[in-house]
Chain A
Amino acid sequence: MKKGLILTLVLLVGVLSLFSQTLTVWSSEKQVDFMKRIGQEFTRDTGINVDVQMVTFGDIKSKFLTAAQAGEGPDIIVGAHDWVGELALNGLLEPIPKSAIELDKFAPSGIQAFTYEGKLYGLPYAIEAVGLFYNRDYVSDEEVPTSIDELKALAKEFTTDETVGFSVTANDFYHVYGFFSGYGAYVFGYNPQTGYDITDLGLNNEGAIKAGYLLKSFFDEGIMPQGMNYNIMDSMFMDGLAAMIINGPWAVKAYLDAGIDFGVVPLTSIEVEPGKSMKPFVGVQGLMINSRSENKAFAMEFIINYLATAEGIYQFYIADPRLPARNDVSQIIEEQGGPVPADIVAAFTESAAGGEPMPNIPAMQSVWQPMNDALNNIINGTQTPEDALNDAVSKIKVAL
């Protein structure tokens, strides 16, 4: 009886599949249009339809987790490398054989970011790290700070009731990691052979505490007002009311569109102490395949031969100007140009090259909330940096 039923269903699926063989891609807004275009090429070559759906970036992972375990969900997702650990642990990502791709063409940091427990779980298309944006109305190219002391001195000149000299999303660990790494703090100890050691936490060491005091001093010295957050910072820079901010390449297009005359300094060229420069978190964006998909073979062909090619990644770059994850794309950018001035691209490239990859292990999940809480307490003066960071580390340890 059951066999009969299954057979009927199989026949049904067989008949339906004649008409509805479709690859589904979940992507955030910016990439949708050109991916549809590339999808049409794929359809022409293989007869498989490609349906690119827009899902808000912040929702992709959680929606994917729910849908994929029910055997539904898209065949391909466009997302960040720090999702890899959690998704791979759940068995929801399909490994991509390294032999199938032109490994030497991709930026090594991109490949490393998508490698989890020795397997490659996605193809990188863009690499990003935050940098220091400066508005040329306030700061000229010659005045650009090269150390924290210079930055502070410069910022104080421009901080008034209406404007702000320097701003960073200080209660968000991602944005301020550069200060921490600059002083020698780290999240998890890393060994190239054995990977991350989650028992070795470097977030309450001497360097981390110095970074905590530095962040607090921005508020104590009146450079940044209390209650500053990303949205306020972003809109102030866009309105020309902020002289310098720390933000990522995703914001560039909006600032260009707003007509702000700005430049970008790589964080890595700013020293926290003589000889010690900031190293921001490096994030990698890439394409991942749903291991529960019925079409994963097609999905693999699509991303390897159509999206993660030099031409494809150039298209990603046009749509969303972050640093391309393939070395051969820079040549295309030189020949055909791109939406972002070359000096800004170069600054972010340098920032990313000198940064530290964000750990892609699931344990990273436990770091964000305690660290953000600690940063909040430091900024408000509720706790001393020592206490706040020790608390955060013990919270992380307990969570692991």
Chain B
Amino acid sequence: MNKFTTFLIWIFIGVLNALLVWAILLLFILANYGLGVVISIFLVLTDWAIFSKKAYPYRYTLPALFFLFILTIYPIYYTIDTSFTNYGTGHLFTRTNAIDTLLTDPTYYFEPEDPKTYDFKVFVRYDEQYKPTEDFLLLLYDDKNMYLSEKPVTLEYDSRGNLIYAESELFPVENDEVNINDTTYTLIRPTESLGTNGSDSIIAIEKDGGIRYAYFYSPVDPLTSTNSAFYNSVLRQNYLKSLNLVLGDQNFRLSSSTIFKKFSEAYRVYDTSVKVIVDGEREIYKTVVVNTLTNKELVERDSAFWDYNENGELYRLIGYKDYIGGENFAKIITDPRISGPFFKIFGWTFAYAGLSVLLTFVVGLAFALVLNDVNLKGKVVYRTLLIIPWAIPAFISVLVWRNGFFNETYGIINRFILGNIGIEPVKWLNDPFWAKVAILITNTWLGFPYMMTINLGALQSIPGELYEAAVIDGATRWKQFRQITLPLLMVAVAPLLVMSFAFNFNNFTLIYLLTGGGPAMAGTNTPAGSTDILISYVYKLAFEGSQGQDFGFASAISMIIFAIIAVFSYFNFRFSGSFEEVSR
């Protein structure tokens, strides 16, 4: 190996390590510890596999294991975890997040009826290159008073590193001078305006060490608008946005009601306190949220915070994600919406998946047998034509079937074919029976090229001598097919049929695009349709039926569908294994 290649490999290892370390850091910061730990372990293993002679073979399996984990095991874990929660509309965030929001979100700040407001000016220190720095002073003023605030000292960030709270104290300015923690700030005015007392003529503020803060920005002063970019994207975004200015027992914030042009009196409505709950011998500490205006503790019910309004009625503030045990699973049995048409849909799902496999297989095999005939001329052309349905995206061809073929009045089948031979138009998509037929026709069209292709492959592998022997024994063609072709074919194809069954069992796309599950089942009290399969029914229940999305419930049903398929596949593989004896 030459030096250059070695060099490239080292670069690759370096970059890989750097990327993974970065990913791990990010995951920990985002509080996604589980995945962070797993990737850390993977990083250690990778480096071990690279640098240790003993671990040589693992070099090739580790990436596969990594992706197995990321793409398969982790989603399964996540689905199981979600199925025991109420994650969904109204319950999207964690309880900590919800409390954070209640404490720091401007929505939950209370402004008095007639708030005191102050205009403000920003004074900024410049660096040696005369660029503004993030060291600044805030001057609040009205007609009579002026108050000065230093850059905020208390800063709080959320888990993503966004500033959610900042605090600073205001000090009254007297005779253009203010003393903050043994530091004196002097307001500088041009010499000719000495003696005036307003805030208009201040051009700078000097700290006692001689450091100068120049007048930089005021939202009401058009002369400073050139500085607005730095003010908005740095100072306001990083400090002022969440700044709480304290003056005695008054608090001021940049207020949305003045469109952030002034500081206005505002107070936190909610605050946390810790409550001790005695549970037998043990004491449990629980964070509760208190409304500081009414001094009432917020009620926590149905995984949400509720507060009392003026009439003493409860209203919902914000919900959070919570573990609710097996409620989602219990719902499947106890909720009449779901258990009602469940078995009808369950039956149709099996019928649909089974018939789809059968029909595609039969049609595919028929074509494969024809194409496999040595006497057939122009095989390539036929094969190409027959594979076309497979090549067109299902999203397009299904819509063509739906609108172009099956439409009751304008569709080709009713209008030209049935119409011309004098048959009454068929209600393709609106009659429960014909809708099912339509689905099977479309699915056969979509699926037979795949079956044809695998059958063609499998037919090639059947040795020709078997047929020669059969012909000598006087077997008919049908008998040859029954006794030789089919059994030997099934050895290769049966596992694929099982896969196809599993695929069709969950073939949401076809149902959703072709009939949308419709026509509706009459006389049920759920949005069940006659052609709904389990997965499309679940989709309706979890995402369209109720008041929004219900991820927890959708996860629970996904697990049940997974269980059904797992059991079915297990028995099917054992069953398909019986074919293998033929080839022994």
Q: Which of B162, B260, B518, B547 has the most CB of A within 10 A?
A: B547
Indicate if the CB atoms of A227 and B408 lie closer than 8 Å: yes
A9 within 8 A of B: yes
- Near A by CB (< 8 A), chain B positions 234-289 give 234, 236-238, 241, 254, 256-260
- Near A by CB (< 8 A), chain B positions 531-568 give 540, 544-549
Chain A proximity mask over B329-368: 1 for CB below 8 Å, otherwise 0: 0000000110000000000000000000000000000000
Among A48, A225, A394, point to the contact of B232 (Cβ < 8 A): A48
Indicate if the CB atoms of B546 and A100 lie closer than 8 Å: no
In the complex, what residues of A have CB within 8 A of residue B179's CB? Answer: none
- In the complex, the chain B residue whose C-beta lies closest to that of A85 is B547
A304 to B228, CA, bound (A): 18
Chain B proximity mask over A86-100: 1 for CB below 8 Å, otherwise 0: 100111101111011
Among A69, A100, A399, point to the contact of B257 (Cβ < 8 A): A100
B233 within 8 A of A: yes
In the complex, what residues of A have CB within 8 A of residue B82's CB? Answer: none
Q: Contacting chain A: which of B202-210, B294-302, B480-488, B520-528? A: B520-528
Question: What distance in Å separates the Cβ of B103 from its nearest Cβ neighbour in chain A?
Answer: 14
Q: Contacting chain B: which of A147-155, A208-216, A261-269, A363-371? A: A363-371
A355 to B430, CA, bound (A): 31
A395 to B168, CA, bound (A): 56
In the complex, what residues of A have CB within 8 A of residue B495's CB? Answer: none
A254 within 8 A of B: no
Contacts A46-B229, A370-B527, A398-B525 given: A89-B548 contact, CB under 8 Å? yes
Indicate if the CB atoms of A298 and B232 lie closer than 8 Å: yes
A369 to B518, CA, bound (A): 11
In the complex, what residues of A have CB within 8 A of residue B28's CB? Answer: 2, 5
Among B233, B337, B522, B529, point to the contact of A18 (Cβ < 8 A): B233
In the complex, what residues of B have CB within 8 A of residue A21's CB? Answer: 232-233, 237
Question: What distance in Å separates the Cβ of A12 from its nearest Cβ neighbour in chain B?
Answer: 8
Q: Contacting chain B: which of A136-144, A312-320, A379-387? A: A379-387
B160 within 8 A of A: yes
- Near B by CB (< 8 A), chain A positions 343-400 give 362-363, 365-366, 368-370, 373-374, 376-377, 380, 382-383, 387-388, 391, 394-395, 397-400
Indicate if the CB atoms of A226 and B523 lie closer than 8 Å: no
Indicate if the CB atoms of A369 and B257 lie closer than 8 Å: no
Indicate if the CB atoms of B408 and A90 lie closer than 8 Å: no
In the complex, what residues of A have CB within 8 A of residue B527's CB? Answer: 369-370, 373, 395, 399
B92 within 8 A of A: yes
Indicate if the CB atoms of A376 and B547 lie closer than 8 Å: no
Indicate if the CB atoms of A91 and B89 lie closer than 8 Å: no
Indicate if the CB atoms of B233 and A228 lie closer than 8 Å: no
A304 to B337, CA, bound (A): 45
In the complex, what residues of A have CB within 8 A of residue B548's CB? Answer: 86, 89-90, 362, 365
Indicate if the CB atoms of B523 and A376 lie closer than 8 Å: no
- In the complex, the chain B residue whose C-beta lies closest to that of A94 is B107
* Chain A interface residue number, banded: 35 or more
- Per the CB 8 Å criterion, the residue count for chain B at the interface is 66
Question: What distance in Å separates the Cβ of A167 from its nearest Cβ neighbour in chain B?
Answer: 11
Among B162, B233, B409, B520, point to the contact of A48 (Cβ < 8 A): B233
Question: What distance in Å separates the Cβ of B69 from its nearest Cβ neighbour in chain A?
Answer: 21
A40 within 8 A of B: no
- In the complex, the chain A residue whose C-beta lies closest to that of B403 is A231
A230 to B524, CA, bound (A): 27
A294 within 8 A of B: yes
A365 to B92, CA, bound (A): 18
Indicate if the CB atoms of B407 and A227 lie closer than 8 Å: yes
- In the complex, the chain A residue whose C-beta lies closest to that of B260 is A297
B25 within 8 A of A: yes
Among B107, B229, B241, B522, point to the contact of A377 (Cβ < 8 A): B522
B230 within 8 A of A: yes
In the complex, what residues of B have CB within 8 A of residue A295's CB? Answer: 237
B411 within 8 A of A: yes
Among A305, A362, A366, A373, point to the contact of B518 (Cβ < 8 A): A373
A189 within 8 A of B: no
- In the complex, the chain B residue whose C-beta lies closest to that of A377 is B520
Among B90, B407, B430, point to the contact of A89 (Cβ < 8 A): B90
A394 to B525, CA, bound (A): 6
Among B231, B236, B259, point to the contact of A304 (Cβ < 8 A): B259
- Near A by CB (< 8 A), chain B positions 75-103 give 89-90, 92-93, 98, 101
In the complex, what residues of B have CB within 8 A of residue A368's CB? Answer: 544
In the complex, what residues of B have CB within 8 A of residue A370's CB? Answer: 527
A336 to B247, CA, bound (A): 51
Among A17, A225, A395, A398, point to the contact of B234 (Cβ < 8 A): A17
Binding site for B on A (CB under 8 A): 2, 5-6, 9-10, 13-14, 17-18, 21, 45-48, 65, 69, 71, 86, 89-92, 94-97, 99-100, 117, 225-229, 231-232, 291, 294-295, 297-298, 300-301, 304-305, 362-363, 365-366, 368-370, 373-374, 376-377, 380, 382-383, 387-388, 391, 394-395, 397-400
26 A-B pairs with C-beta separation under 8 A: A2-B28, A6-B157, A17-B233, A17-B238, A46-B229, A47-B232, A47-B233, A48-B232, A69-B93, A90-B90, A91-B92, A91-B319, A226-B430, A229-B407, A301-B260, A366-B547, A369-B545, A373-B520, A380-B427, A383-B522, A391-B520, A391-B525, A395-B525, A398-B526, A399-B547, A400-B547
Q: Which 3 A-B pairs have the closest CB atoms?
A: A47-B229, A373-B520, A227-B408
